[in-house]
Amino acid sequence: LFAGPCDFFYGAQQIGQLPDPMAPEVAFAGRSNVGKSSLINALTGRKSLARASSEPGRTKQLNFFDLDGRLVLVDMPGYGFAKAAKAVKEDWQGMMFDYLRGRPNLRRVILLLDARIETKASDRDVMDMFDKAAINFQVVLTKCDGVKPKAEEARYREVVAEVSRHPAAHPLVLRTSSETGLGIPELRAEIAAFAEP
């Protein structure tokens, strides 16, 4: 699946502009700077498919990528910028909630958490939102290369415990690094399970 073509085909800035469902979808969510662009690039083997940018709130749209006509990857805007105005946050939540609730072909949301920093209130809010919308989500730890093994293990356990409190969460937490490639094959396999044959 990931060896075939992968093309950006749509950017949606409003919920009314979503493309018609054409294949099963897997969406990626996470705080700004969590390493989402890097991970999508690592998964697809592209250098700049998802524009890596740590610029606050740069990606304000839902970006759709077609994987060989068999699966669609959806890059959701990063959340959690402390400085974002309240209205912006509410906008984000409203649009995401509408997308998540109303997307019949959405199979899973991959929620990224940074292995190097603790889970933030905004991450918990998003997990609560997934529970409320009954959205199947799976947590993936990013940047595992950037933390010492002991601290990484502690962070992993903390996240597994957190995940077990969320009814909509998949119990398997994956540890990844876009730098070293750790966990990338495993995450590809999780995602590929949703693709059309």
Residues that bind ligand GDP (CB under 6 A): 30, 32-38, 52-54, 78, 142-143, 145-146, 177-179
**Smaller CB separation from ligand GDP, 143 or 155:** 143
**Smaller CB separation from ligand GDP, 79 or 195:** 79
**Smaller CB separation from ligand GDP, 55 or 196:** 55
Q: Smallest gap, in angstroms, from Cβ of residue 152 to ligand GDP?
A: 12
Q: What is the 3-state secondary structure (H, E, C) of 2-39?
A: CCCCEEEEEEECCHHHCCCCCCCEEEEEEECCCCHHHH
Q: Smallest gap, in angstroms, from Cβ of residue 178 to ligand GDP?
A: 4
State the Cα torsion 101-28-135-137 to the nearest 10°: 180
CA distance linking residue 176 with residue 140, whole number of Å? 7
CA distance linking residue 90 with residue 95, whole number of Å? 8
Q: Smallest gap, in angstroms, from Cβ of residue 115 to ligand GDP?
A: 9
- Strand-pairing partners, residue 63, are 11, 75
Q: Smallest gap, in angstroms, from Cβ of residue 166 to ligand GDP?
A: 21
